[in-house]
Structure 1
Amino acid sequence: MRERLDHRGVRGKLPQRHPLLLVDQVVELRAGESIRTRKAISGTEPCYRALPDDAAPESYAYPLSLLVESLGQSAALLWLEGQGEAVDESSALLFTGARGLRMLGAAYPGDVLEHTVELENVIAETVFARGVSRVGDRTVLTAESLIAARRPRTAMGPPDHQDHDQRGI
């Protein structure tokens, strides 16, 4: 088991950068088995930029798409750590799907999400995992299946159409 991976270490493993890097730290990792990560939600994130000052409190719920992406990035960290490598420029990680998503609550600015992901199977360059996101002792999201794949960048089209700041999982 590896102790912790700070934000610098997370950046060294994943290709995402601000504002799409949605994992702040790895709290616990069992290579090839499971990972526990954290993501602090801030009211200064881009998803809150257009909210008016008089927005209803429920308007501040963290978007489901970002919750799922953060959980997916946690799964990618688990997969990559088990392989002992980071994403290089010749390949891309793609979050290809999620099944059995259940939104059980909401997270808001000031909350710290804790994701737990368990690896189920790796077939060739495709990974299957399941996960749970919590705020404290409250479960906000469950995913029966998270699916990601690594593909050569050359298989994804001409390089001039790739946005290197917002690629991959």
Structure 2
Amino acid sequence: MTKISNVLPHRYPFLFVDQILEIEQNKWVKGYKNITINEWFFYENNNSVPSTLIIEGLAQLGAFATMSDNNGLGFLSALKGIEVLGQAYPGDRLDLYYKVLKNKRGFIIGEGVATVGNKVIIRADEIMIYLQANTE
């Protein structure tokens, strides 16, 4: 299995994937993020994970569907059809799924779903990632 740090340049506090569970290269990927009370985005009046950060986690996960060690850098480029249906809280395991719909000329378009337990909390019709090839 590919090591997360070999694919993503993100590190704490902006890494939103703890583990890759399953992957079918160029098709789909499953992973998760454990939500702890120590996350930097929790404060007195906010005890849930901001939906924008969950979407970022889906985009980070999407990089694994088409990338391998050191073959480039992915950038979240566009979003379409985002539905926020619930929230994640400290103690939750945020399960993430990204399915590749199209991969053309460095642009990867996929759909994503984030769940807690068996409940869908975020659904994205399209998450576009631009893959900048490694020039080394």
TM-score by length of 2: 0.91
Of 40, 49, 60, the residue aligned with 1:73 is 60
CA distance in 2 between counterparts of 1:15 and 1:77 reads: 12
Whether the aligned pair in 2 keeps the contact of 1:14 and 1:86 (CA below 8 Å) is: no
Which residue matches 1:165? none
Of 7, 11, 31, the residue aligned with 2:5 is 11
CA distance in 2 between counterparts of 1:153 and 1:117 reads: 23
CA distance in 2 between counterparts of 1:115 and 1:27 reads: 10
Deviations 1:34-88 (A, max 9, x none): 111010111111111xx23xx4xxx2110011100000001111111xxx3335x
Q: Which amino acid aligns with 2:20?
A: V
Structure 2 residue 67 is the aligned partner of structure 1 residue 43: no
Q: What root-mean-square deviation, in Å, do the aligned CA atoms of Structure 1 and Structure 2 show?
A: 1.8
Whether the aligned pair in 2 keeps the contact of 1:93 and 1:150 (CA below 8 Å) is: yes
Q: Secondary structure at the match of 1:17?
A: coil
From the superposition, tell whether residues 152 and 79 of structure 1 become closer, same or farther in structure 2 (CA, over 3 Å): closer
Q: Which amino acid aligns with 2:78?
A: G
Count of matched residue pairs: 135
CA distance in 2 between counterparts of 1:92 and 1:28 reads: 21
Choose between structure 1 and 2: higher helix proportion. 1
Alpha-carbon offset, residue 153 of structure 1: 8.8
Which residue matches 2:109? 128
Structure 2 residue 50 is the aligned partner of structure 1 residue 63: yes
TM-score by length of 1: 0.74
Q: Secondary structure at the match of 1:38?
A: strand
Percent of pairs with identical residues: 24
Of 85, 88, 96, the residue aligned with 2:69 is 85
Consecutive unaligned residues in structure 2, runs of 5 or more: none
Consecutive unaligned residues in structure 1, runs of 5 or more: 155-169
Whether the aligned pair in 1 keeps the contact of 2:8 and 2:73 (CA below 8 Å) is: no
Alpha-carbon offset, residue 140 of structure 1: 0.3
From the superposition, tell whether residues 75 and 19 of structure 1 become closer, same or farther in structure 2 (CA, over 3 Å): same
